[in-house]
C-alpha cells in the first residue's frame, strides 16, 4: 500500500535515499524520513569502538531511527573492550550518552539478529520497538571479563523476575527470542528468512511514521515454541533459580547452585520420564551457570550482586551512572586487562603476549571491596539528586585518583 504511493511521491519530488558510510555504520535517509542506521563492523560482530561510538552518537540526532545490522550473525556484541584499555571514563560516558539520546527519540526501532550483548543489549532495550528474530542471542556476559553488566542493565535486569535477572547478570546466560518476548525485553518477533521480514524492512522505509506500528503488527508474529529456553520455560528450572536467588551474596549463589544440583541429581534416575526430563533441564541450566561463575571475576560477581540488590537505580539514566562509577574502577584493575587478553587474544593488540595473571584478592577481601564500590556508586547517585553537575560528579567519583582507593 505505502510502497507504490511513496515511490510515486519520491519520483515527483525527486526524493532520493542517500547512503553514507560513517566509519563502521551506514546511515540512510529513507523516503518516509526515517533514518536507517546499519551497524557494519561485522568483522568484530559490531563490537563498538570509540570511532564507531562517536558516529553512532551523532547519527542518533535524528528524531526517528531504525537500528539494525549488516551481518545476521550479530546485532551488536557490545563495546569493544580493547577500547577500555585507555580513556575508560570517556568511553563509558559516551556509551551512556548514546543510550540516553536513543531513549529520547520520538520513533526508535531496533531489529536484532544474532548476538545482542552488553552495549548491544543496551541499544536494543533503549529502543521503543524491539524486534527479535529466530537467531537472536541476548546476554550480559561482563562478569567474565571482570566488569559489572552495564548499558542500563542495572535497570532493565531489575525489571525481570529477580531469579532470572540475577542469573542473567551473574552467569551471562543467553536468552532466546522467545525468552526476550516473554520477559518484556523485546516487543515483536519476525523470522529473518521469511517474506514477512523482507516486507517489514521495505514497508518501514515507506509507511508514514505514525503508521509504523501497523506495519510491525502485520508483519510480526509469535515465535515457535521450540525457541523458548529451559531458563524461562521450565517450571522446575524457575523453582530452582528462586531458591538459588535467596542467597545473600554471589558466593551464596554458587553454594545454593550446588544444593540445587544435588536435589536434581536425586531425580535424574527417576522412573518417571517427566520427572527425569525436568531434572535434566535443571541440571543443564545450573551446570552452565556454575561453570560461567567459576570462570568469572569474583569481585565483579559480588559487585554485580550487591548493585542489583541495593542500588537505587531503577531509572535507566541512574543505572548507567552507577555502572560507570563501578566499571571505571573495575577496568583499571590488572585482572581486567588479563581477562581481556586471555579471552580475546591480547589486550594490548592482536599479537601482544598474555602476561601471567595478577594475584587474586584474598577471599575475605572480595565482598568488602564490592560493597565499597557499590556504596561509591550510590553516593554518586545521591550527589546527582542533590544537584551536583555531571562535570563535578565525573571529577569527584570517576577520576583515577578518586577510585584507586578501592582498586586492586
The string of pLDDT tens digits covering residues 205-220 is 999 999 999 999 999 9
pLDDT at 342: 76
Does the structural domain 2-12+19-139+176-227 have CATH classification 3.30.70.360? no
165 contacts 316 by C-beta, under 8 angstroms: no
Of residues 402 and 59, the one with the higher pLDDT is: 59
- 48 pLDDT above the threshold of 60: yes
CB 303, CB 152: distance < 8 Å: no
* pLDDT of 408 over the 50 cut: no
The tens digit of pLDDT for each residue in 222-278 reads: 999 889 999 999 999 999 999 999 999 999 999 999 999 988 887 766 546 567 788
Which residues, 6 or more positions from 390, have their beta carbon under 8 angstroms from its beta carbon? Answer: 384
Does residue 22 or residue 307 have the better pLDDT? 307
Q: Which residues of 5-141 form beta strands (DSSP E)?
A: 19-22, 25-29, 35-39, 64-69, 74-76, 107-112, 115-117, 129-132, 137-139
* Mean pLDDT (whole number) for 341-350: 58
Q: How many CB atoms lie within 10 A of CB 93?
A: 18
Judged against a pLDDT cut of 80, whether residue 337 lies above it is answered with no
Q: Euclidean distance between the first and final Cα of the chain, in Å?
A: 62
Determine the Cα–Cα distance for residues 165 and 282; give it in Å rounded to an integer. Answer: 17
pLDDT of residue 372 exceeding 80, the answer is yes
What's the chain's average pLDDT? 87
Whether 352 has a pLDDT exceeding 60, the answer reads no
Which range, of 125-129, 140-144, 334-338, 404-408, averages the lowest pLDDT?
A: 404-408
- pLDDT at residue 172 greater than cutoff 70: yes
Distance CA 265, CA 42 (A): 42
Q: What is the DSSP letter of 348?
A: T
pLDDT of residue 405: 41
Distance CA 235, CA 281 (A): 10
Q: Taking phi first (over 0 means left), then psi (-120 to 50 degrees means alpha), and beta for anything else, what does residue 43 get?
A: alpha
In this predicted structure, the answer to whether residue 377 has a pLDDT above a threshold of 90 is yes
Q: Where are the domains of the chain?
A: 2-12+19-139+176-227, 230-292, 298-406
Q: Check residue 153 and give its pLDDT.
A: 97
pLDDT category at 84 given cuts 50, 70, 90 is low
Predicted pLDDT of residue 42? 78
Q: Which of 81-95, 170-184, 377-391 has the weakest average pLDDT?
A: 81-95
pLDDT tier at 7 (50, 70, 90 boundaries)? Answer: very low
Amino acid at each position: 500500500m505505502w510502497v507504490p504511493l511513496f515511490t510515486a511521491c519520491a519520483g515527483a519530488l525527486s526524493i532520493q535515499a542517500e547512503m553514507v558510510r560513517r566509519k563502521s555504520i551506514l546511515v540512510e535517509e529513507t523516503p518516509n524520513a526515517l533514518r536507517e542506521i546499519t551497524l557494519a563492523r561485522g568483522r568484530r560482530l559490531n563490537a563498538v569502538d570509540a570511532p564507531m561510538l562517536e558516529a553512532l552518537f551523532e547519527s542518533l540526532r535524528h528524531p526517528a531511527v531504525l537500528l539494525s545490522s549488516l551481518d545476521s550473525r550479530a546485532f551488536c556484541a557490545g563495546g569493544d573492550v580493547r577500547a577500555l584499555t585507555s580513556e575508560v571514563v570517556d568511553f563509558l560516558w559516551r556509551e551512556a550518552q548514546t543510550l540516553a539520546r536513543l531513549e529520547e527519540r520520538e520513533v526508535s526501532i531496533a531489529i536484532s539478529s544474532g548476538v545482542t550483548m552488553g552495549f548491544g543489549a543496551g541499544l536494543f532495550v533503549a529502543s521503543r520497538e524491539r524486534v527479535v528474530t529466530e537467531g537472536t542471542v541476548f546476554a550480559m556476559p561482563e562478569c567474565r571479563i571482570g566488569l559489572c553488566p552495564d548499558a542500563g542493565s542495572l535497570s532493565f535486569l531489575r525489571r525481570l523476575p529477580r531469579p532470572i535477572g540475577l542469573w542473567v547478570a551473574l552467569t551471562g546466560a543467553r536468552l532466546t527470542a522467545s525468552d526476550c518476548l516473554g520477559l518484556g525485553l523485546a516487543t515483536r518477533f519476525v523470522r529473518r528468512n521469511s517474506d514477512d521480514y523482507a516486507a517489514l524492512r521495505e514497508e518501514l522505509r515507506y509507511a508514514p511514521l505514525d503508521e509504523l506500528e501497523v506495519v510491525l503488527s502485520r508483519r510480526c508474529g509469535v515465535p515457535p515454541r521450540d525457541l523458548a529456553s529451559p531458563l524461562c520455560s521450565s517450571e522446575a528450572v524457575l523453582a530452582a533459580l528462586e531458591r538459588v536467588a535467596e542467597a545473600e551474596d554471589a558466593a551464596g549463589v554458587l553454594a545454593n547452585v550446588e544444593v540445587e544440583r544435588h536435589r536434581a541429581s536425586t531425580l535424574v534416575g527417576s522412573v518417571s520420564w517427566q520427572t527425569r526430563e525436568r531434572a535434566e533441564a535443571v541440571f543443564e541450566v545450573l551446570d552452565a551457570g556454575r561453570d560461567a561463575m567459576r570462570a568469572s571475576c569474583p569481585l565483579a560477581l559480588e559487585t554485580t550482586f550487591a548493585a542489583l540488590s541495593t542500588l537505587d537505580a531503577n531509572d535507566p539514566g541512574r543505572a548507567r551512572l552507577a555502572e560507570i562509577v563501578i566499571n571505571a574502577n573495575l577496568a583499571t584493575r590488572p585482572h581486567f586487562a588479563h581477562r581481556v587478553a586471555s579471552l580475546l587474544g591480547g589486550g594490548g593488540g592482536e599479537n601482544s603476549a598474555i602476561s601471567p595473571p595478577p594475584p587474586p584478592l584474598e577471599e575475605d577481601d572480595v565482598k568488602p571491596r564490592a560493597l565499597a564500590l557499590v556504596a561509591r556508586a550510590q553516593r554518586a547517585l545521591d550527589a546527582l539528586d542533590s544537584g551536583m553537575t555531571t562535570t563535578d560528579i565525573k571529577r569527584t567519583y570517576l577520576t583515577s585518583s578518586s577510585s584507586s582507593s578501592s582498586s586492586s
